Amino acid sequence: MPGSRRHALDAWLERLRGGGACVVTGEPGSGRSTFLALAARSFAAGPVLAVPAVPAGSVLAVPAVPAGSMLTVPAVPAGSARPYDGLRTLCAAAGAEAERAPGPLTAQLLTALAATAGPGTVLVCVDDVDQWDAASRDDLGLLAARLPAAGRIALLLTAAGHRPLDPAFAALPELRLDPLTPPEAAAVLDDTADGVLDPGVRDELVLAAEGNPALLLRLPRGLTPAQLGGRAPLPRPLADAGTLAALAGVHLSGLPSRQRELLLVVAAAVHVSGEPAAEADHALRAAARLRDAVPGRPAPWPSAGPGERPGPAGPTVRQEPSDRPAPPLPELLHLADGRIGFRSALLCRTVYAGAEDGSRRAAHLALARALADGGGLLALLHRCRAAMAPEPALAAALTSAAADPAQAAPPALRCAAHIRAAELTPGGPERARRYTAAAEQALLAGQPRRALHLLDGARDCAQQSPWAELLRGKALLADGAVDDARETLLHAAALLAPQDPGRAAEATLAALDAAWSAGDAEACLRVLDTGPEDSPRATHPEKPADARPACDVPPAAATAVAHPPRSGAAAGSGPAEGGPAAVDPVPVAGATPAAHPPRSS
Strands 339-342 and 333-336: antiparallel
- Looking at the fold, whether 134 and 24 belong to one and the same domain comes out as yes
What percentage of the chain has pLDDT greater than the value 70?
Answer: 75
Co-location of 202 and 116 in the same domain: no
Q: Indicate if the pLDDT at residue 536 is higher than 90.
A: no
Residues 195 and 170 both lie in one domain: no
Q: Is residue 452 part of a domain?
A: yes
3-state helix, strand, coil in the chain (%, to 5): 50, 5, 45
Residues 532 and 459 in one domain: yes
- The arithmetic mean of pLDDT across residues 482-505, rounded, is 91
Residue 48 has pLDDT above 60, yes or no: yes
- Do 191 and 63 share a structural domain? no
Q: What are phi and psi of 22, to 5 degrees?
A: -155, 145
- Which conformational region is residue 68 in: left (phi greater than 0), alpha (psi within -120 to 50 degrees), or beta? left
Quick one: pLDDT at residue 470?
Answer: 93
Q: Which of 110-124, 151-165, 234-248, 335-349 has the lowest mean pLDDT?
A: 110-124
**Which of 176, 192, 217 is the last residue before a domain boundary?**
176
Looking at the structure, do residues 81 and 154 belong to the same domain, yes or no? yes
In a domain, 433, yes or no: yes
Within-domain flag for 168: yes
DSSP per position, 331-392 = TTEEEETTEEEES-HHHHHHHHHHS-HHHHHHHHHHHHHH-S-TTSHHHHHHHHHH--S--H
With cut-offs at 50, 70 and 90, classify the pLDDT of residue 591: very low
For residues 7 and 152, state if they share a domain.
yes
Quick check: 235 and 229 in contact, CB under 8 A?
Answer: no
Q: How many domains does the chain have?
A: 3
156, 176, 196 - which closes a domain: 176
What's the pLDDT tens digit per position in 301-351? 443 333 333 333 332 333 333 344 445 789 999 999 999 999 999 999 999
Sorted by sequence, the CB contacts under 8 Å of residue 484 that are 6+ apart come out as 476, 597, 598, 599, 600
What pLDDT shows up at residue 384?
95
User: Which of 128, 149, 176 represents a domain boundary (last residue)?
Assistant: 176
CATH number of the domain bearing residue 40: 3.40.50.300
Burial 127-136 (b: 16+ CB within 10 A, else e): bbbbbbbebb
Report the run of H or E that residue 126 belongs to, with start and end: strand 122-126
Strand order across the beta sheet in which 333-336 lies: 277-279, 339-342, 333-336
**249 compared with 81, residue with greater pLDDT:** 249
Handedness of CA 387, 391, 392, 393 (dihedral sign): negative
Paired strand residues for 155: 21, 124
Residue 338 has a CB neighbour count (10 Å cut-off) of 13
Please check whether residues 414 and 551 belong to one and the same domain: yes
pLDDT of residue 543: 39
Count the alpha carbons within 13 Å of 274 in the hemisphere toward its beta carbon.
21
Is the same domain home to 172 and 188? no
What confidence score (pLDDT) does residue 79 get?
Answer: 54
Q: Residues 502-530: pLDDT tens digits?
A: 999 999 999 999 999 888 888 888 888 77
- Does 438 map to a domain? yes
Residue 195 resides in a domain? yes
* Residue 275, domain member (yes or no): no
Both 64 and 190 in one domain: the answer is: no
Based on the fold, state whether residues 392 and 450 are members of the same structural domain.
yes
Do 74 and 157 fall into the same domain?
A: yes
CATH number for the domain that contains residue 410 = 1.25.40
Residues 466/504, Cβ–Cβ less than 8 Å = no
Per the domain annotation, does 128 fall within a domain?
Answer: yes
State the helix-helix crossing angle for 257-273 and 357-370, rounded to 10 degrees: 70
pTM confidence score = 0.77
How far, in Å, CA of 552 to CA of 407, rounded? 16
User: Is pLDDT of 160 > 50?
Assistant: yes
Structural domain containing residue 170: 3-176
- At 431-471, the pLDDT tens digits run 999 999 999 999 999 999 899 989 988 887 777 789 899 99
Residue 256 lies in a domain: no
Region 347-374 average pLDDT: 93
